[in-house]
Amino acid sequence: MQRSPAWILPWLLALLLCVALVGPTPAVAGPDKSKAPLPAAEARQWLARIHAAAHERNYQGTLVFSADGELSSARVAHFGDGKQSYERVEVLDGRMQQIYRHNDSVYTIWPGSRLVVVEERDSRQASLRQVLEPRAEEHYELREQGTDHVAGREVQVLLLSPRDEYRFAQRLWVDSRTGLMLRADVLGPKQQVLESTAFSQVEIGVKSQPQSVLRSMKQVDGFRLVRPAQQGTQLESEGWALKSLVPGFRLSSCIRRALDPADGSAASASVMQAVFSDGLTHVSVFVEPLDPERHKQPLITHVGATHTLMQAHGDAWVTVVGDVPASTLKLFFQALDRRN
């Protein structure tokens, strides 16, 4: 299997944590599509409430990850006061990765290798957890599926069914009192659960604890600090374009960032990352110089719902990653066009 570049590993794990943290749960029945979809206005109200709760509520708790038979867990927290925002994700298994965010600044810490990656992220992409936008209603039908309980709290169960074949369905468990999403299942074409996110324990409305995040961001003495140089850019100015947009996806951001020389790349090498969103899920397209020593064979793989496509495109190596069907990633690759 082609080894992933060092710079993509923290991003991939963050993506998995954002969408695929889950606890072991009993089998559940498939989605009930017998109910009519909610009217557009009512669906947008639900999605707006979930979106607001993700930004405005203070909470902390434990998430447990399960995908393809693998289990992991993490402590997570979100604090904010309207002007400042703080998040932490502390993975409790494996390499014990820790991610801390203060506004747009993100520190990814690998205690085992004494490495810290420091990034300034676009504010639209900074959050460490999945952010659901109201415009997702344009590409998904929303149905109410009754009530349930997650982590001892009453929740409303919602089903987001895609209006086409370019994305997966998701089933959401939303806290009835606050609107905070407490669990999310990503469903395959046969309604099988590909991955699922659930709090096993959660406290909502806790007192803000910004120092619990800032203190950890400052305690990095003795670690190797990597600050990947990055700058905003545009596909066209980089000599690329999409011949056609994949239905429902819009360009959210585009940056150019340096590759980590520790990966064996030349110090001057860099990668372009374009992020596309349909309001619920994201697809990232990475383009870097083709290196025959590292980039051997095309690859399509997946972990849970997260599919990855790696393939040469002329003198470039393209990596497309997202919680979408592999066929959707192929559409992004096929639409990518070199303009110079």
CA of 238: how far to CAs of 235, 251, 340, in Å?
Answer: 5, 15, 9
Tokens of 227: 């600050």
Domains belonging to the chain, first-starting first, are 8-204 (2.50.20.10), 229-338 (3.30.200.100)
Burial 143-165 (b: 16+ CB within 10 A, else e): bbbeeeebbebebbbbbbbbeee
| Rounded distance between C-alpha atoms, residue 185 and residue 168, angstroms | 10
Per this entry, what is the length of the chain?
340
Cα-based distances in Å from 134 to 47, 125, 142: 5, 16, 11
**Residue 196 contacts residue 22 (beta carbons within 8 Å):** yes
Most distant CA atoms of the chain, gap in Å: 58
* Of 208, 209, 230, the residue nearest 106 (C-alpha): 230
CB-based burial of residue 202 (10 Å sphere; 0-12 exposed, 13-18 middle, 19+ buried)? buried
- Taking the C-alpha atoms of residue 280 and residue 323, their distance in angstroms, rounded to an integer, is 10
Predicted pLDDT of residue 235? 93
The Cα 208–Cα 133 span in angstroms is 24
Q: Rounded CA gap, 316 and 259, in Å?
A: 14
285: exposed, middle or buried (C-beta count within 10 Å: 0-12, 13-18, 19+)? buried
Q: Distance from CA of residue 5 to its chain's centroid? A: 18
Tokens, residue 32? 């009930």
Local confidence pLDDT in tens for the 340 residues of the chain: 333 333 333 333 333 333 333 333 333 445 565 689 999 999 999 999 999 999 899 999 999 888 888 888 999 999 998 789 999 999 998 778 999 999 999 999 999 899 999 988 765 555 666 678 899 999 999 999 999 999 999 999 999 999 999 999 999 999 999 999 999 999 999 999 999 989 999 999 999 999 999 999 999 999 999 988 888 999 999 999 999 989 999 999 999 987 654 444 444 578 999 999 999 999 999 999 999 988 989 999 999 999 999 999 999 999 999 999 999 999 999 999 998 7
Query: What's the confidence (pLDDT) of residue 6?
Result: 32
Q: How far apart, in Å, do the first and last CA atoms of the chain sit?
A: 31
Q: C-alpha angle 302/126/25, rounded to 5°?
A: 45
219-223, Cβ contacts within 8 angstroms, sequence gap of 24 or more: 220/107, 220/109, 220/116, 222/114, 223/109, 223/114, 223/115, 223/116
d(CA 19, CA 187): 12
Token pair 């690329």: residue = 240
DSSP codes, 135-175: GGGGTEEEEEEEEEEETTEEEEEEEEEESSSSS-EEEEEEE
